[in-house]
Structure 1
Amino acid sequence: MNHQLFSLQPFPGTKKFPDVKIAGNIARHSNNLTIQYSLLGDIKEIAITPPSATPLRKHGLWQNTCFEFFIGVRNSPQYWEFNLSPCGDWNIYRFDDYRQGMQEEAAFSTLPFMVQQQAESVEINLNLDLDKIISTEQALEVAITTVIKTQDGDVTYWALTHRGAEADFHLRDSFILELPAVN
């Protein structure tokens, strides 16, 4: 199993961002991926959509507070974008190359994940079977990101690293976590 801790940073040059910390861990065991995010701090200033009784696959989740991660296969331009809203809504997109050929990933009809919200924290936990899209023999490169929207409507972009002049989670050289092939 490859277990890694992470901490996200706001895009450099962001003049005003909420007083929060975003951290977590990611692991690959067999071909199951687990990821856990913790948003800690003054979350009352964060715009968080209330939990949905029936979470849905939705477009544009990144326009609000949204936890995201990107998975690419090493030595391939193809990658996937996973969007997890604190309300339970979700989506997965497949790309052929940098921002090219975007399609909903049809291999998944649901994306069950757990959301726990308390006075000073939001926690997201996902356990994902990668067999539907990636074989165990493929090494993975991962980017972990979050979009935070405040109650005032300000949006900030958080990631492991920011490699571009603008916040751009799709830049492949920002997929800096490596999850080796499982033999």
Structure 2
Amino acid sequence: MNEQTFSLQPFPSNESPPNLKISGNIARNGNKLAIRYMLEGDLNEIAIFPISNTPSRKHELWQDTCFEFFLGIKDSAQYWEFNLSSAGHWNVYRLDGYRQGMQEETAFENLPFNVQNQGEDLVLVLDLDLGKIISVEQAIEVAITTVVKDRGGEVTYWALTHVGAEADFHLRDSFIIQL
């Protein structure tokens, strides 16, 4: 098993909510991927929707607080964008190259994750079988990101690293975790 911890940083030009921290860990065991995000701080300042009784696939989850990760196959332009809402909604998109050919990834009918809002902490845990999109032999590169919207409507962009002049999670140079 290959496991790594992470800590996300806000895009430098963003005014991020004070005392906010986003960290977690990611592990790959065979073709099973496990990611755990922890959002810590004054969650009363963050726009977090209640957990839905009927979570479903939805578009444009990045318009609100949304945990994301981008997964690419090493030495391939193709990659996937995974969106996980604090309310339990989700989506997965397949792209042919940098922001090219974006379409829903139909290999997934749901994403097995859960969200726990513990007052000062919001924890999201995902356990995913990658076998529907890649083989166990393929090395992957991952970018872990989060969009945080505060109650005033301001949005901040958090990532492992920010390599562009603007916040852009799709830049392949930011896929820095190798599993």
TM-score normalised by length of structure 2: 0.98
- Residue 101 in structure 1 maps to residue 88 in structure 2: no
Alignment partner, residue 43 of structure 1: 43
Q: Distance in 2 between matches of 1:83 and 1:14?
A: 21
Q: Distance in 2 between matches of 1:124 and 1:24?
A: 9
Q: Distance in 2 between matches of 1:170 and 1:78?
A: 11
Within a 5 Å distance, the mapping from 1:51-130 to structure 2 comes to: 51-130=51-130
CA 18–62 in structure 1, closer or farther in 2 if over 3 Å, else same: farther
- Residue 173 in structure 1 maps to residue 158 in structure 2: no
Report deviation, 1:18. Answer: 4.0
Q: Distance in 2 between matches of 1:66 and 1:16?
A: 15
5+ long unaligned stretches in structure 1: none
Confirm or deny: 8 A CA contact 1:48 1:65 kept in the other structure. Answer: yes
Off by >6 Å, runs of 4+ in structure 1? none
Within a 5 Å distance, the mapping from 1:11-22 to structure 2 comes to: 11-22=11-22
Q: SS at the partner of 1:15? A: coil
Q: Write out per-residue CA displacement over residues 53-107 of structure 1, whole angstroms, 9 at most, x where no aligned residue.
A: 1001000000000000000000000000000001000000000000000010000
Confirm or deny: 8 A CA contact 1:10 1:17 kept in the other structure. Answer: no
Alignment partner, residue 152 of structure 2: 152
> Which amino acid is the alignment partner of residue 128 of structure 2?
L
Q: Over aligned residue pairs, what C-alpha RMSD do you find?
A: 0.7
Report deviation, 1:19. Answer: 2.4
> Which amino acid is the alignment partner of residue 78 of structure 1?
Q
Q: Distance in 1 between matches of 2:116 and 2:158?
A: 20
Confirm or deny: 8 A CA contact 1:90 1:111 kept in the other structure. Answer: yes
Alignment partner, residue 163 of structure 2: 163
Q: Distance in 2 between matches of 1:82 and 1:22?
A: 17
TM-score normalised by length of structure 1: 0.96
> Which amino acid is the alignment partner of residue 144 of structure 2?
I
> Which amino acid is the alignment partner of residue 175 of structure 2?
F
Q: Distance in 2 between matches of 1:148 and 1:6?
A: 17
CA 48–139 in structure 1, closer or farther in 2 if over 3 Å, else same: same
CA 16–117 in structure 1, closer or farther in 2 if over 3 Å, else same: closer
Q: SS at the partner of 1:51? A: coil
